[in-house]
Amino acid sequence: MNHFNRRQFLMSNLVAGAAIVAGQSLTGRNQNTTEDSLSVNPAIKGMKRKLGKLEVSAQGLGGLPVVGFYGRGVREQSHVNKLYQTAFENGITFFDTAEVYGPLTNEIQVGEAVAAFRKDVVIATKFGFEVDPNHQSGRGRPLNSSPANIRRAVEGSLKRLKTDYIDLYYQHRVDPNIPIEDVAMTIKDLVKEGKILHWGLSEPGLNTIRRAHAVHQVTAIQNEYSLWTRDSEKAVLPLCEELGIGFVPWCPLGYGFLAGAINENTKFGQGDFRAILPRVTPENIVKNLQLLDFIKEWGLRKRATAAQISLAWLQAQKPWIVPIPGTSNLVHLKENLVANSLTFSKDEMAEFNMGLSKIEIAGPKNTQAIIDAMGVEAAAKM
């Protein structure tokens, strides 16, 4: 199969009339297709899932692209406003950001973008690093989940997000210097004060999850999880199911690779951190395109794009899994939403997973690269 760009892979009638209406073929994008010519079936818009006791849209929206993490600089606020308004109008009510995205910039963007419908959406943000109050980024930003720093962080996030409460507050990375019980107790106090409603952990170890949950109920775990990063399946997902914790995959589209946005001819622009990812080096990308071809073949079979197959596969794993693909593109936003309506029969899922098991991924997982690109310290899972 020829390798072609995700933007060339949108099509009309993607899922039995419930998909994007674009008037284009499976293998080529109609040049007349614009964001205004696309519509999402109302049945898709109302789909919900539960993270613990927190109800959210079946798919969320990640904030990194609009701060220029994939290049092209920080997006104009007017564009961000339109993106989030469109997301909300099409059923997305779960918005993910973090103090270190920018740093600080993305919370400001999100706060302004959702101000008009704040009470109708779920905002998730994250704490756990020392952030320069002068808004300057840099390598090696230290971990800090001390009670004092958590309180500093939450007050700043509330102000930037223009809200008086945070729906879901994650510890961005486990701080080995602060007992997780101290973190959980601080969170518990903030819940009593009404400043946060739920909390979660990102990339924690199993013991940390259990210890944190014993002090104050954990609502969600946010780990990197996708068709090419599946280590959470072995133990984290079973533990979430045991404890009634939801799961939020970050980078569910593999930084765009699983959506067909990267191939062997891709030249990354200035500021695009993906240039340092180990899985898309010249020697590894050729091998990993086998996975993308596999996904596209299933897309032809299911009349869906690679992005939709990738997201639908994640959602099919458990009803309490809610991916948060990030985008700054309104066409891709609506394209991604169609995954909510895609289903796999039991036999299809078995066949899909059998084929997937035969594909070897070249290169280590990309988590460390994204940590480095944000200028923060990594933490060992505990």
Q: Which CB contacts under 8 angstroms, 24+ apart, belong to 77-80?
A: 77/109, 77/112, 77/113, 79/328, 80/109, 80/110, 80/112, 80/113, 80/328
Output the six-digit token pair for 275.
Answer: 């240039």
Q: Which of 134, 229, 147 is nearest to 181 (CA)?
A: 147
Q: For residue 195, give every residue at least 6 positions away whose Cβ sits within 8 Å of its Cβ, in sequence order, or none.
A: 154, 158, 164, 165, 166
Backbone phi and psi for residue 321, each to the nearest 5 degrees, phi listed first: -100, 125
Helix (H, G, I), strand (E, B) or coil at 11: coil
For residue 169, indicate whether it is catalytic.
no
Output the six-digit token pair for 135.
Answer: 């808004």
CA–centroid distance for 25 within its chain: 28
Q: Which of 19, 5, 6 is nearest to 339 (CA)?
A: 19
Output the six-digit token pair for 179.
Answer: 């007992």
Annotated active-site residue in 70, 84, 101, 170 = 101
Quick one: which H or E segment has residue 197?
A: strand 196-202
SS3 track for 121-174 = CEEEEEECECCCCCCCCCCCECECCCHHHHHHHHHHHHHHCCCCCEEEEEECCC
Q: Which of 214, 216, 234, 212 is nearest to 225 (CA)?
A: 234
User: Is the distance from CB of 262 to CB of 280 less than 8 angstroms?
Assistant: yes
Distance CA 26, CA 29 (A): 8
CB crowding 139-175: b at 16 or more within 10 Å, else e: eebebbbbeebbbbbbebbbebbebebbbbbbbbbbb
The number of helices, as runs of H, and strands, as runs of E, in the chain is 12, 9
Sign of the dihedral defined by the CA atoms of residues 316, 347, 236, 252, in that order = negative
User: Is the distance from CB of 68 to CB of 74 less than 8 angstroms?
Assistant: yes
Q: Which residues are catalytic?
A: 101
